[in-house]
Amino acid sequence: MSSSAVPASFANLTYEKKNAIAYVTVNRPKVLNALNMATMEELRTVFHGIKADDSVRVVIFTGAGEKAFIAGADVNELAKHNAVEGKAYTHKGQSVLNLIENLGKPVIACINGFALGGGCELAMACTMRLASDNAKLGQPEVHLGIIPGYGGTQRLPRLVGKGIAMQLVLAGEMITAAEAHRIGLVNEVVPQPELIARAEAIAHKIIANAPLAVQYAMEAVNRGMEMTLQEGLYLEATLFGVCCATEDKTEGTKAFLEKRAPNFKGK
C-alpha cells in the first residue's frame, strides 16, 4: 500500500518519510508534548498508516523541542475521569501502544528530555530506546493517586526486573539517562545533538537486512517473552522455517556464497 495511508497533516504530530525511514514527532512543545486522547488517536492513525506502507522500514519516534520526549498524560483530562471512563481511557491508550510494539517494523524511541508517565510507557512500547544525555525518565503516577495505565506496570518489570520496577513505580522518582541505561531501560545514551543521527545510523543497518527476517525476529522476541522457553523455541523454529521459504532467504544465502551484497525485496 502507498504512503497515502498516512494523512497529509495532523494537529498534534508531524510526520515525514525519507530513505525508508518514517519520522513521527509529537508536536505539543508548549505542554511538553503531553498526551491527550486526541494525540493518542493521531498516533493510532499514523502508525496504522505506517504499518500499511511497504516503503517504510523503520520508524524514528520523538518529541518536538529539546525539553521533552513526552512529559506524561494530560492531567486536565485525567482529573475528570470516573471509574468507567478511566478504564476505557487506559484500554484505548494500551491498544495504541500494542500497535506500536507489534508494528512489524522497528520503532526507535529518541528520548530528548522528559519521558514521564505515559511518555515513559510509550518509549517502552518501542522496539528500542535511545536517550539524550539530558533525558529524565519515570513513572510518577502515584503522586496523582493513580497507577501507570499504559502498560507501565507490565513492560517496566519485563525490561528492568521486578525489584527495580517496583522502586520506580512506588516511589515515583525520576531517573537520569545514565541510570536508565544502567538498569537496562534505555539502550544507549548519546549527546542530544547526535540523538537523531545515531537513530538513523541504527535504522540504516536494519534497512540493509531482509524485511521479513526483521519482522519475524521481532515477532519471535515479542511473542516469546510471554511463553515458556520450550514454547518460545517452537515459535522460533516455526518462524525460521517460514523464512526458509522466502525469496529473500534464497537471495541472502546466494549473495553470501557469491561474496556480494544482497538485494532483498521483502518477499
b/e sequence 53-89, b meaning 16+ C-beta within 10 Å = beebbbbbbbbbbeebbbbbbbeeebeeeeeeeeeeb
Supply the pLDDT for residue 109.
Answer: 98
- Over 50: is that where the pLDDT of 1 sits? no
Rounded to two decimals, what is the model's pTM? 0.94
pLDDT band at 244 (very low <50, low <70, confident <90, very high): very high
Supply the pLDDT for residue 254.
Answer: 94
Please state, rounded to an integer, the average pLDDT across all residues of the chain. 94
Contact between residue 208 and residue 252 where contact means Cβ atoms under 8 Å apart = no
- Per-residue cell: 167: 522502586
Q: In whole angstroms, what is the distance from residue 101 CA to residue 97 CA?
A: 6
Q: Which CATH class is domain 211-257?
A: mainly alpha
Contact between residue 60 and residue 21 where contact means Cβ atoms under 8 Å apart = yes
pLDDT band at 225 (very low <50, low <70, confident <90, very high): very high
- For 134-150, the pLDDT digits (tens) are 999 999 999 999 999 99
- For 66-116, the pLDDT digits (tens) are 899 999 887 878 888 889 988 888 899 999 999 999 999 999 999 999 999
Supply the pLDDT for residue 257.
Answer: 95
Supply the pLDDT for residue 86.
Answer: 87
Neighbours of 43 (CB within 10 A): 23
Supply the pLDDT for residue 3.
Answer: 46
Neighbours of 214 (CB within 10 A): 20
Q: In whole angstroms, what is the distance from residue 202 CA to residue 105 CA?
A: 13
Residues spanned by CATH 1.10.12.10 within the chain?
Answer: 211-257
**What letter does residue 8 receive in the DSSP assignment?**
S
What is 3-207's CATH topology?
2-enoyl-CoA Hydratase; Chain A, domain 1 (3.90.226)
The whole-number average pLDDT for the span 186-203 is 97
- For 12-56, the pLDDT digits (tens) are 999 999 999 999 999 999 999 999 999 999 999 999 999 999 999
Supply the pLDDT for residue 178.
Answer: 98
Q: Which residues are catalytic?
A: 121, 141
Residues spanned by CATH 3.90.226.10 within the chain?
Answer: 3-207
- Over 90: is that where the pLDDT of 237 sits? yes
